[in-house]
């Protein structure tokens, strides 16, 4: 699952760094000593914020439109792309085993087509979360 969230980048008064706030994710604030480091730090912070919500069963907030974000004149808005699948593989802490029951013909179809039942269920549930 990939998500896009707007972030506000404010240059630091001293040096080349930036403070970054993700307004749709309360308390999600970070910084970097360069623009690239600030973008990376913001992507990591936002991904961690989202993963924490998902692991505790909370709904994730919808992203605001980037042009609807108000900011100071010295700041700018940039979009963050969050690859939650990759982030979860790297940092996800929690996995729960679930046993399911499906019709035999559906199981046969899935096995013949080398389908990953866990992945299909995860994708379906993530799609429901995003609605």
The CATH number linked to 25 is 3.30.160.250
Domain containing residue 131 = 96-131
Least confident stretch, 22-26, 37-41, 59-63: 59-63
Span 37-52, average pLDDT:
95
Same domain, yes or no, for 79 and 19? yes
Average the pLDDT over 64-77 and give the result.
Answer: 90
Q: How confident is the model at residue 6 (pLDDT cuts 50, 70, 90)?
A: very high
Same domain flag for 63 and 112: no
* Same domain flag for 55 and 8: yes
Number of domains observed in the structure of the chain? 2
Whether residues 57 and 30 share a domain: the answer is: yes
| pTM summary value | 0.69
Q: What is the pLDDT of residue 93?
A: 67
- In 3D, which of 93, 90, 84, 86 has the Cα closest to residue 125? 84
Residue 62 and residue 108 in one domain: no
Return contacts of 119-123, CB within 8 angstroms, 24+ apart: 123/1
Q: Are residues 17 and 56 in the same domain?
A: yes
> Average of pLDDT values for 81-91?
87
Together in a domain, 77 and 103: no
Is residue 63 located within the same domain as residue 85? yes
CB neighbours of 28 closer than 8 A, spacing ≥ 6?
21, 22, 45, 46, 49
**6 and 69 belong to one structural domain:** yes
Q: What is the rounded average pLDDT of the residues 96-108?
A: 88
């Amino acid at each position: 699952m990939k998500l896009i969230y707007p972030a506000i980048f404010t240059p630091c008064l001293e040096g080349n760094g930036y403070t970054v706030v993700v307004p749709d994710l309360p308390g999600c604030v970070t910084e970097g000593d360069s623009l690239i480091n600030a973008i990376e730090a913001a992507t990591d912070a936002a991904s961690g914020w989202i993963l924490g919500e998902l692991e505790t069963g909370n709904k994730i907030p919808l992203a605001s439109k980037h042009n609807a974000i108000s900011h100071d004149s010295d700041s700018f808005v940039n979009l963050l792309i969050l690859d939650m699948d990759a982030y979860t593989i790297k940092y996800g802490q929690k996995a729960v085993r679930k046993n399911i029951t499906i019709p035999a013909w559906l199981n046969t179809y899935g096995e013949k087509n080398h389908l990953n039942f866990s992945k299909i269920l995860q994708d379906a549930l993530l799609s429901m979360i995003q609605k």
